[in-house]
Protein backbone atom coordinates (compact mmCIF):
# COMPACT_ATOMS: atom_id res chain seq x y z
CA UNK A 1 0.00 0.00 0.00
CA UNK A 2 1.42 3.44 -0.83
CA UNK A 3 1.53 6.36 1.54
CA UNK A 4 -1.68 8.07 0.57
CA UNK A 5 -3.67 4.83 0.66
CA UNK A 6 -2.28 4.18 4.11
CA UNK A 7 -3.18 7.73 5.15
CA UNK A 8 -6.75 7.28 3.96
CA UNK A 9 -6.94 3.81 5.57
CA UNK A 10 -8.73 2.47 2.48
CA UNK A 11 -10.81 -0.61 3.27
CA UNK A 12 -9.89 -3.68 1.25
CA UNK A 13 -12.12 -4.53 -1.66
CA UNK A 14 -15.24 -6.49 -0.70
CA UNK A 15 -15.92 -9.00 -3.50
CA UNK A 16 -19.36 -8.56 -5.07
CA UNK A 17 -21.67 -11.54 -5.78
CA UNK A 18 -18.84 -13.80 -4.65
CA UNK A 19 -20.93 -16.86 -3.74
CA UNK A 20 -22.95 -16.52 -6.93
CA UNK A 21 -19.83 -16.31 -9.13
CA UNK A 22 -18.22 -19.37 -7.54
CA UNK A 23 -21.48 -21.30 -7.79
CA UNK A 24 -21.78 -20.28 -11.45
CA UNK A 25 -18.29 -21.55 -12.32
CA UNK A 26 -18.73 -24.86 -10.42
CA UNK A 27 -15.00 -25.23 -9.70
CA UNK A 28 -13.79 -28.82 -9.75
CA UNK A 29 -10.60 -30.60 -8.70
CA UNK A 30 -7.99 -30.47 -11.45
CA UNK A 31 -9.86 -27.66 -13.25
CA UNK A 32 -8.22 -24.55 -14.68
CA UNK A 33 -9.84 -21.13 -14.25
CA UNK A 34 -9.14 -17.56 -15.28
CA UNK A 35 -9.86 -14.66 -12.95
CA UNK A 36 -9.50 -11.82 -15.47
CA UNK A 37 -9.84 -9.11 -12.82
CA UNK A 38 -7.75 -10.21 -9.85
CA UNK A 39 -8.07 -6.97 -7.82
CA UNK A 40 -7.64 -8.02 -4.19
CA UNK A 41 -8.01 -11.68 -5.15
CA UNK A 42 -11.49 -12.24 -3.71
CA UNK A 43 -12.72 -14.45 -6.55
CA UNK A 44 -9.34 -16.15 -7.00
CA UNK A 45 -9.16 -17.21 -3.36
CA UNK A 46 -12.75 -18.43 -3.32
CA UNK A 47 -12.13 -20.59 -6.41
CA UNK A 48 -8.89 -21.99 -5.00
CA UNK A 49 -10.64 -22.80 -1.72
CA UNK A 50 -13.64 -24.41 -3.42
CA UNK A 51 -11.62 -27.09 -5.25
CA UNK A 52 -8.09 -28.35 -5.85
CA UNK A 53 -8.00 -26.30 -9.04
CA UNK A 54 -5.57 -23.80 -10.50
CA UNK A 55 -6.27 -20.15 -11.25
CA UNK A 56 -4.63 -17.86 -13.76
CA UNK A 57 -5.20 -14.42 -12.28
CA UNK A 58 -4.87 -11.41 -14.58
CA UNK A 59 -4.82 -7.72 -13.72
CA UNK A 60 -3.63 -4.67 -15.64
CA UNK A 61 -2.83 -2.74 -12.46
CA UNK A 62 0.81 -3.16 -11.41
CA UNK A 63 -0.25 -2.90 -7.74
CA UNK A 64 -2.32 -6.09 -8.04
CA UNK A 65 0.77 -8.21 -8.63
CA UNK A 66 2.18 -7.35 -5.21
CA UNK A 67 -1.06 -8.52 -3.59
CA UNK A 68 -0.87 -11.80 -5.50
CA UNK A 69 2.59 -12.58 -4.10
CA UNK A 70 1.21 -13.04 -0.60
CA UNK A 71 -1.52 -15.36 -1.87
CA UNK A 72 0.88 -17.38 -3.99
CA UNK A 73 2.55 -18.56 -0.80
CA UNK A 74 -0.80 -19.82 0.44
CA UNK A 75 -1.59 -21.63 -2.82
CA UNK A 76 1.77 -22.77 -4.19
CA UNK A 77 1.66 -24.06 -7.79
CA UNK A 78 -2.10 -23.41 -8.02
CA UNK A 79 -2.14 -19.60 -8.31
CA UNK A 80 -0.43 -17.98 -11.28
CA UNK A 81 -0.48 -14.21 -11.64
CA UNK A 82 -0.30 -12.72 -15.14
CA UNK A 83 0.16 -8.97 -15.53
CA UNK A 84 -1.83 -7.65 -18.48
CA UNK A 85 -5.30 -7.12 -19.87
CA UNK A 86 -8.07 -9.68 -19.89
CA UNK A 87 -8.74 -8.74 -23.52
CA UNK A 88 -5.45 -10.52 -24.24
CA UNK A 89 -6.16 -13.52 -21.99
CA UNK A 90 -6.09 -16.11 -24.77
CA UNK A 91 -2.65 -14.96 -25.95
CA UNK A 92 -1.32 -14.43 -22.42
CA UNK A 93 -2.23 -17.99 -21.47
CA UNK A 94 -1.08 -19.48 -24.78
CA UNK A 95 2.35 -17.97 -24.09
CA UNK A 96 2.30 -19.94 -20.85
CA UNK A 97 1.23 -23.20 -22.48
CA UNK A 98 -2.48 -23.06 -21.60
CA UNK A 99 -4.90 -23.38 -24.52
CA UNK A 100 -8.18 -24.29 -22.78
CA UNK A 101 -9.79 -23.48 -19.45
CA UNK A 102 -12.87 -24.60 -17.53
CA UNK A 103 -14.10 -21.20 -16.44
CA UNK A 104 -13.56 -17.46 -16.79
CA UNK A 105 -14.64 -14.83 -14.28
CA UNK A 106 -14.70 -11.10 -15.00
CA UNK A 107 -15.57 -8.47 -12.40
CA UNK A 108 -15.63 -5.31 -14.45
CA UNK A 109 -14.53 -1.85 -13.36
CA UNK A 110 -12.26 -0.49 -10.67
CA UNK A 111 -11.51 -1.84 -7.22
CA UNK A 112 -12.06 -0.06 -3.92
CA UNK A 113 -8.28 0.18 -3.56
CA UNK A 114 -8.05 2.10 -6.82
CA UNK A 115 -10.95 4.45 -6.04
CA UNK A 116 -9.87 5.09 -2.47
CA UNK A 117 -6.25 5.87 -3.27
CA UNK A 118 -6.38 9.59 -4.06
CA UNK A 119 -3.06 9.36 -5.92
CA UNK A 120 -4.73 7.23 -8.60
CA UNK A 121 -7.03 10.12 -9.49
CA UNK A 122 -10.35 8.24 -9.73
CA UNK A 123 -12.08 10.12 -6.92
CA UNK A 124 -13.99 13.37 -7.17
CA UNK A 125 -14.23 13.51 -3.38
CA UNK A 126 -10.52 13.56 -2.57
CA UNK A 127 -8.02 15.71 -4.35
CA UNK A 128 -5.40 13.94 -6.41
CA UNK A 129 -3.70 14.02 -9.79
CA UNK A 130 -6.22 13.75 -12.66
CA UNK A 131 -4.91 10.35 -13.69
CA UNK A 132 -7.36 7.34 -13.72
CA UNK A 133 -4.99 4.98 -15.52
CA UNK A 134 -5.42 1.43 -14.19
CA UNK A 135 -2.14 0.50 -15.87
CA UNK A 136 -0.28 3.59 -14.65
CA UNK A 137 0.87 4.19 -18.20
CA UNK A 138 -0.52 5.69 -21.40
CA UNK A 139 -2.93 8.58 -21.78
CA UNK A 140 -4.26 10.03 -18.53
CA UNK A 141 -7.58 11.75 -17.76
CA UNK A 142 -5.69 15.08 -17.65
CA UNK A 143 -4.37 14.45 -21.17
CA UNK A 144 -7.93 13.97 -22.42
CA UNK A 145 -9.47 16.87 -20.54
CA UNK A 146 -6.74 19.31 -21.58
CA UNK A 147 -6.43 18.37 -25.24
CA UNK A 148 -9.64 16.91 -26.66
CA UNK A 149 -12.03 19.18 -28.55
CA UNK A 150 -15.26 20.36 -26.96
CA UNK A 151 -17.15 18.06 -29.33
CA UNK A 152 -15.07 14.99 -28.40
CA UNK A 153 -15.45 15.71 -24.70
CA UNK A 154 -19.16 16.23 -25.05
CA UNK A 155 -19.51 12.94 -26.94
CA UNK A 156 -17.75 10.80 -24.32
CA UNK A 157 -19.45 12.55 -21.40
CA UNK A 158 -22.81 11.92 -23.04
CA UNK A 159 -22.12 8.35 -24.19
CA UNK A 160 -19.99 6.93 -21.39
CA UNK A 161 -21.31 9.14 -18.57
CA UNK A 162 -24.94 9.22 -19.72
CA UNK A 163 -24.83 12.90 -18.70
CA UNK A 164 -27.77 14.93 -20.02
CA UNK A 165 -25.80 18.15 -19.62
CA UNK A 166 -22.76 16.83 -21.50
CA UNK A 167 -22.54 19.81 -23.84
CA UNK A 168 -22.62 22.30 -20.99
CA UNK A 169 -20.00 20.38 -19.05
CA UNK A 170 -17.72 20.13 -22.10
CA UNK A 171 -18.11 23.85 -22.80
CA UNK A 172 -17.24 24.70 -19.19
CA UNK A 173 -14.18 22.42 -19.28
CA UNK A 174 -12.86 24.02 -22.46
CA UNK A 175 -13.41 27.53 -21.07
CA UNK A 176 -11.75 26.71 -17.75
CA UNK A 177 -8.69 25.00 -19.19
CA UNK A 178 -7.75 28.21 -21.03
CA UNK A 179 -7.33 29.86 -17.65
CA UNK A 180 -5.55 26.94 -16.02
CA UNK A 181 -4.99 23.38 -17.32
CA UNK A 182 -6.65 20.62 -15.33
CA UNK A 183 -4.13 18.71 -13.23
CA UNK A 184 -6.14 17.80 -10.11
CA UNK A 185 -9.40 15.91 -9.61
CA UNK A 186 -11.05 18.54 -7.41
CA UNK A 187 -10.40 21.30 -9.94
CA UNK A 188 -12.41 19.32 -12.50
CA UNK A 189 -15.09 18.31 -9.98
CA UNK A 190 -15.56 21.97 -8.95
CA UNK A 191 -15.96 23.13 -12.56
CA UNK A 192 -18.59 20.42 -13.18
CA UNK A 193 -20.43 21.20 -9.94
CA UNK A 194 -20.60 24.89 -10.87
CA UNK A 195 -22.29 23.88 -14.11
CA UNK A 196 -24.65 21.04 -13.12
CA UNK A 197 -26.82 21.14 -10.04
CA UNK A 198 -27.19 18.14 -7.75
CA UNK A 199 -30.42 16.35 -8.70
CA UNK A 200 -33.10 14.97 -6.40
CA UNK A 201 -31.30 11.63 -6.41
CA UNK A 202 -28.52 13.27 -4.39
CA UNK A 203 -25.84 12.02 -6.78
CA UNK A 204 -22.79 14.25 -7.01
CA UNK A 205 -22.90 16.02 -10.40
CA UNK A 206 -19.25 15.05 -11.01
CA UNK A 207 -20.09 11.31 -10.89
CA UNK A 208 -21.14 10.91 -14.50
CA UNK A 209 -18.30 12.90 -16.06
CA UNK A 210 -15.72 11.06 -13.94
CA UNK A 211 -17.24 7.73 -15.01
CA UNK A 212 -17.01 8.81 -18.66
CA UNK A 213 -13.37 9.80 -18.35
CA UNK A 214 -12.47 6.56 -16.56
CA UNK A 215 -14.08 4.50 -19.30
CA UNK A 216 -12.32 6.52 -22.02
CA UNK A 217 -8.90 6.49 -20.34
CA UNK A 218 -8.95 2.71 -19.90
CA UNK A 219 -10.99 1.87 -23.02
CA UNK A 220 -13.15 -0.18 -20.68
CA UNK A 221 -15.93 -1.07 -23.10
CA UNK A 222 -13.47 -2.04 -25.85
CA UNK A 223 -11.61 -4.20 -23.33
CA UNK A 224 -14.84 -5.85 -22.25
CA UNK A 225 -15.68 -6.80 -25.84
CA UNK A 226 -12.16 -8.15 -26.39
CA UNK A 227 -12.36 -10.03 -23.10
CA UNK A 228 -15.60 -11.73 -24.07
CA UNK A 229 -14.17 -12.78 -27.43
CA UNK A 230 -10.98 -14.01 -25.79
CA UNK A 231 -13.03 -16.07 -23.32
CA UNK A 232 -14.87 -17.59 -26.26
CA UNK A 233 -11.53 -18.71 -27.69
CA UNK A 234 -10.22 -20.03 -24.41
CA UNK A 235 -13.15 -21.87 -22.85
CA UNK A 236 -13.44 -25.56 -23.54
CA UNK A 237 -16.86 -27.00 -24.51
CA UNK A 238 -18.92 -26.99 -21.32
CA UNK A 239 -16.68 -24.28 -19.83
CA UNK A 240 -18.42 -21.47 -17.94
CA UNK A 241 -18.26 -17.70 -18.23
CA UNK A 242 -19.34 -15.41 -15.37
CA UNK A 243 -19.32 -11.64 -15.87
CA UNK A 244 -20.21 -9.10 -13.19
CA UNK A 245 -20.91 -5.58 -14.44
CA UNK A 246 -21.87 -2.41 -12.63
CA UNK A 247 -23.66 -0.14 -15.04
CA UNK A 248 -25.99 -0.41 -17.97
CA UNK A 249 -23.32 0.35 -20.60
CA UNK A 250 -21.23 -2.64 -19.49
CA UNK A 251 -24.21 -4.92 -19.05
CA UNK A 252 -25.42 -4.04 -22.53
CA UNK A 253 -22.09 -5.16 -24.03
CA UNK A 254 -22.29 -8.49 -22.19
CA UNK A 255 -25.95 -9.02 -22.99
CA UNK A 256 -25.49 -8.16 -26.69
CA UNK A 257 -22.48 -10.45 -26.97
CA UNK A 258 -24.21 -13.40 -25.34
CA UNK A 259 -27.35 -12.83 -27.36
CA UNK A 260 -25.39 -12.83 -30.61
CA UNK A 261 -23.27 -15.81 -29.61
CA UNK A 262 -26.19 -17.88 -28.39
CA UNK A 263 -27.93 -17.45 -31.74
CA UNK A 264 -30.73 -15.19 -30.56
CA UNK A 265 -29.55 -12.21 -32.61
CA UNK A 266 -28.54 -14.25 -35.62
CA UNK A 267 -32.08 -14.85 -36.80
CA UNK A 268 -32.95 -12.64 -39.76
CA UNK A 269 -36.17 -11.46 -38.10
CA UNK A 270 -38.34 -12.28 -35.14
CA UNK A 271 -40.74 -14.02 -37.54
CA UNK A 272 -38.08 -16.51 -38.56
CA UNK A 273 -38.44 -19.73 -36.55
CA UNK A 274 -35.44 -20.41 -34.35
CA UNK A 275 -34.97 -23.86 -35.81
CA UNK A 276 -34.41 -22.49 -39.32
CA UNK A 277 -30.88 -21.81 -40.46
CA UNK A 278 -27.61 -22.77 -38.82
CA UNK A 279 -28.12 -20.92 -35.57
CA UNK A 280 -27.74 -23.82 -33.18
CA UNK A 281 -24.71 -25.18 -35.01
CA UNK A 282 -22.82 -21.91 -34.78
CA UNK A 283 -23.89 -20.74 -31.32
CA UNK A 284 -20.77 -20.61 -29.15
CA UNK A 285 -22.56 -19.96 -25.84
CA UNK A 286 -25.74 -21.00 -24.10
CA UNK A 287 -27.00 -18.43 -21.62
CA UNK A 288 -27.57 -20.06 -18.23
CA UNK A 289 -30.32 -17.63 -17.31
CA UNK A 290 -32.15 -15.03 -19.34
CA UNK A 291 -32.12 -12.47 -16.56
CA UNK A 292 -28.98 -11.29 -14.79
CA UNK A 293 -28.34 -12.40 -11.22
CA UNK A 294 -28.42 -9.46 -8.79
CA UNK A 295 -27.26 -9.14 -5.17
CA UNK A 296 -29.49 -10.11 -2.31
CA UNK A 297 -30.95 -7.28 -0.24
CA UNK A 298 -28.56 -8.29 2.48
CA UNK A 299 -25.49 -7.90 0.25
CA UNK A 300 -26.73 -4.59 -1.19
CA UNK A 301 -27.28 -3.24 2.32
CA UNK A 302 -23.87 -4.39 3.52
CA UNK A 303 -21.92 -3.21 0.46
CA UNK A 304 -23.25 -0.13 -1.38
CA UNK A 305 -20.89 -0.90 -4.30
CA UNK A 306 -22.85 -4.10 -4.92
CA UNK A 307 -26.19 -2.36 -5.46
CA UNK A 308 -25.92 -2.00 -9.22
CA UNK A 309 -24.11 -5.30 -9.85
CA UNK A 310 -25.42 -7.79 -12.41
CA UNK A 311 -24.01 -11.22 -13.07
CA UNK A 312 -24.48 -12.97 -16.41
CA UNK A 313 -23.47 -16.60 -16.82
CA UNK A 314 -23.10 -18.64 -19.98
CA UNK A 315 -21.83 -22.07 -20.94
CA UNK A 316 -19.49 -22.59 -23.89
CA UNK A 317 -20.78 -24.92 -26.58
CA UNK A 318 -18.57 -27.06 -28.81
CA UNK A 319 -18.94 -24.72 -31.84
CA UNK A 320 -15.70 -23.14 -33.04
CA UNK A 321 -15.12 -19.58 -31.83
CA UNK A 322 -16.18 -16.81 -34.18
CA UNK A 323 -13.66 -14.45 -35.67
CA UNK A 324 -16.14 -11.72 -36.60
CA UNK A 325 -18.51 -10.03 -34.22
CA UNK A 326 -22.19 -10.60 -34.81
CA UNK A 327 -25.21 -8.94 -33.28
CA UNK A 328 -24.33 -5.29 -33.13
CA UNK A 329 -21.05 -5.15 -31.25
CA UNK A 330 -18.82 -2.68 -32.95
C1 LIG B 1 -13.73 -4.76 -9.43
S2 LIG B 1 -12.04 -5.11 -9.29
C3 LIG B 1 -11.97 -6.85 -9.09
C4 LIG B 1 -12.07 -7.29 -7.67
C5 LIG B 1 -11.89 -8.78 -7.47
N6 LIG B 1 -12.97 -9.55 -8.06
C7 LIG B 1 -11.79 -9.12 -6.00
O8 LIG B 1 -12.65 -9.87 -5.51
O9 LIG B 1 -10.88 -8.63 -5.34
C10 LIG B 1 -11.49 -4.94 -10.92
C11 LIG B 1 -10.01 -5.19 -11.14
O12 LIG B 1 -9.85 -5.51 -12.50
C13 LIG B 1 -8.76 -4.83 -13.02
N14 LIG B 1 -9.07 -4.61 -14.44
C15 LIG B 1 -10.01 -3.82 -14.98
N16 LIG B 1 -10.02 -3.91 -16.30
C17 LIG B 1 -9.07 -4.83 -16.62
C18 LIG B 1 -8.61 -5.38 -17.85
N19 LIG B 1 -9.13 -5.01 -19.01
N20 LIG B 1 -7.64 -6.31 -17.79
C21 LIG B 1 -7.12 -6.71 -16.61
N22 LIG B 1 -7.49 -6.20 -15.42
C23 LIG B 1 -8.47 -5.28 -15.43
C24 LIG B 1 -8.64 -3.56 -12.22
O25 LIG B 1 -7.30 -3.11 -12.24
C26 LIG B 1 -9.09 -4.03 -10.86
O27 LIG B 1 -8.01 -4.45 -10.08
Q: Print pLDDT tens along the chain (330 aa).
A: 443 444 444 458 999 999 999 999 999 999 999 999 999 999 999 999 999 999 999 999 999 999 999 999 999 999 999 999 999 999 999 999 999 999 999 999 999 999 999 999 999 999 999 999 999 999 999 999 999 999 999 999 999 999 999 999 999 999 999 999 999 999 999 999 999 988 888 899 999 999 999 999 999 999 999 999 999 999 999 999 999 999 999 999 999 999 999 985 444 455 544 443 344 679 999 999 889 999 999 999 999 899 999 999 999 999 999 875 444 443
Q: Which of 218, 235, 266 is the last residue of a domain?
A: 218
Whole-number pLDDT of residue 324: 58
Q: Verify that 210 and 226 share a domain, yes or no.
A: no
- Write out pLDDT tens, residues 308-327: 999 999 999 999 998 754 44
Co-location of 83 and 101 in the same domain: yes
Cα 128 to middle of ligand 1, angstroms: 21
For residue 282, the CA-to-ligand 1 centroid distance in Å is 31
Give the closest residue (by CA) to ligand 1 atom 20: 85
pLDDT, position 280: 65
In this structure, the residue with its CA closest to atom 24 of ligand 1 is 110
The CATH number that applies at residue 84 is 3.40.50.150
- Please report the atom of ligand 1 found closest to the CA of residue 18: 8
**Whether residue 134 has its Cβ less than 6 Å from ligand 1:** yes
Q: Is 41 in the pocket of ligand 1 (CB under 6 A)?
A: yes
Shared domain for 73 and 47, answered yes or no, is: yes
The domain boundary residue, chosen from 197, 218, 239: 218
15 lines ligand 1 (CB under 6 A): yes
List the domain range (segments joined by +) for residue 135. 125-218
| Index of the ligand 1 atom closest to the CA of residue 113 | 27
Residue 327 lies in a domain: no
| 130 and 152 part of one domain | yes
Mutate to test the pocket of ligand 1, among 38, 55, 226 (most ligand atoms within 8 A of CB): 38
61 in the same domain as 138: no
The answer to the question of residue 53 being in a domain is yes
Q: How many domains does the chain contain in total?
A: 2
Global confidence as pTM: 0.91
What ligand 1 atom has the least distance to the C-alpha of 86?
A: 20
Of 15, 16, 33, 59, the residue with max ligand 1 atoms within 8 A of its CB, to mutate for a pocket test, comes to 59
CA distance linking residue 232 with residue 206, whole number of Å = 36
Closest residue CA from atom 8 of ligand 1: 42
Q: Please identify, by atom number, the ligand 1 atom nearest to the C-alpha of residue 84.
A: 21
Residues 7 and 107 in one domain: yes
> Using H for helix, E for strand and C for coil, what is the string for the chain?
CCHHHHHHCCCCCCCCCHHHHHHHHCCCCCCEEEECCCCCCHHHHHHHHHCCCEEEEEECCHHHHHHHHHHHHHCCCCEEEEECCHHHHHHHHHCCCCCCEEEEEEECCCCHHHHHCHHHCCCCCCCCECCCCCCCCCCCHHHHHHHCCHHHHHHHHHHCCCCCCHHHHHHHHHHHHHHCCCCEHHHHHHHHHHHCCCCCCCCCCHHHHHHHHHHHHHCHHHHHHHHHHHHHHHEEEEEEEEEEECCHHHHHHHHHHHHHHCCCCCCCCCCCCCCCCCHHHHCCEEECCCCCECCCHHHHHHCHHHCCCEEEEEEECCCCCCCCCCCCCC
In-domain check, residue 330: no
Contact present, 280 and 263 (Cβ < 8 Å) = yes
Query: Does residue 40's CB lie within 6 angstroms of at least one atom of ligand 1?
Result: yes
Distance (angstroms) between ligand 1 centre and the Cα of 61 equals 8
Instruction: Check if 86 has its Cβ closer than 6 Å to any atom of ligand 1.
Output: yes
Instruction: Say if ligand 1 is within 6 A of residue 246 CB.
Output: no
Amino acid sequence: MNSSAARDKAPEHIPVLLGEVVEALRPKDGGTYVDGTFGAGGYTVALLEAAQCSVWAIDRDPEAQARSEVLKEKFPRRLHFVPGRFGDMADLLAERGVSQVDGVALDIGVSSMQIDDRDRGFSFLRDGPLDMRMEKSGRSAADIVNSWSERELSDIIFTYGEERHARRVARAIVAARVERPFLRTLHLADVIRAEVRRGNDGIDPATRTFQALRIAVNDELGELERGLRAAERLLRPGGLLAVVSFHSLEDRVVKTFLKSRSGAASRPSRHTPANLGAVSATATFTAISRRPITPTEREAAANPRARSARLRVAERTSAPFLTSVAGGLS
